Chain A
Amino acid sequence: MRLTCKQAAALLSQGLDRKLSPWERTRLRLHLLACDACRNFVKQIEFIRRAIRRVADRG
């Protein structure tokens, strides 16, 4: 049931690429409640996605 940060980070990343199952989402939610680092991580990879689109749109 419990996710390590390594597992959580992989799932958070996959959340940008596929629809996570309800079970995966529940486990992630519990992990994020307890983990600042992974909360920062997901915000940062979403930010990187916005930023790289900005890089591409420049010019």
Chain B
Amino acid sequence: MTVHQTEIAQIEQHCPYLVRYAMLQLRNASVAQDVVQDTLAAALGGLARFAGHSPMKTWLTGILKHKIIDHHRRAAREQPLTDDETRSEGEAADALFREDGHWDVPPNHWGDPERALDNKRFLEALEKCTQLLPAKTARVFMMRDVMQLETSDICKELGISATHCWVMLHRARLALRECLQNTWFGKP
């Protein structure tokens, strides 16, 4: 029995959460498991430095975020964006607007969407929508809207320009809005 038994038990307790978080970001079970394992290894190695200043979950999530960013950085290096992907996504985004720049189908009022935040089925619907995003768009969107990295940091990690980054974020939001409209808010 080491002195760290309690902490190890606590780390184990957070594993399902870490796997879920990684899955949302990486959308691939085996990659998510690898990243969580690296996180646990780093956490065990760093237990001495974890002084309990922050909650265990926050500390672990912090390590996991770094591991996810490492993964994205490697992936961006190995498979840079192709023009084809960029073009077809651009076409999908353009199709939401008419020639004259007006909305083809103007976004209508969603009523009181805040209530949906506590609805498990709504959160699942949103997660499904994120899974429909092209992988690279999803990557940038998750780094920004979930991990809350600054766009300048995302650009640096992924080796893309700020303008490209904004375009991808906008396309992700257009696509998610459209998906939620069709699968949730627009349903009779």
Contact = CB atoms under 8 A, between A and B. Distances in A.
Is chain A's binding surface mostly helix, strand, loop or mixed? helix
B50 to A, nearest CB: 21
B105 to A, nearest CB: 9
A47 B180 CA distance: 11
Contacts of A16: 145, 169
Given A52-B145, A54-B117, A56-B21, A5 B173 contact: no
A1 B8 CA distance: 60
Contacts, number: 102
Interface of A: 4-7, 9-10, 13-14, 16-18, 36-38, 40-41, 43-45, 47-56, 58-59
B177 A48 contact: yes
Interface of B: 16-17, 20-21, 24-25, 97, 100-103, 106-110, 113-114, 116-117, 122-123, 126-127, 130, 141-142, 144-146, 151, 162, 165-167, 169-170, 173-174, 176-177, 180
B176 A48 contact: yes
B108 A40 contact: yes
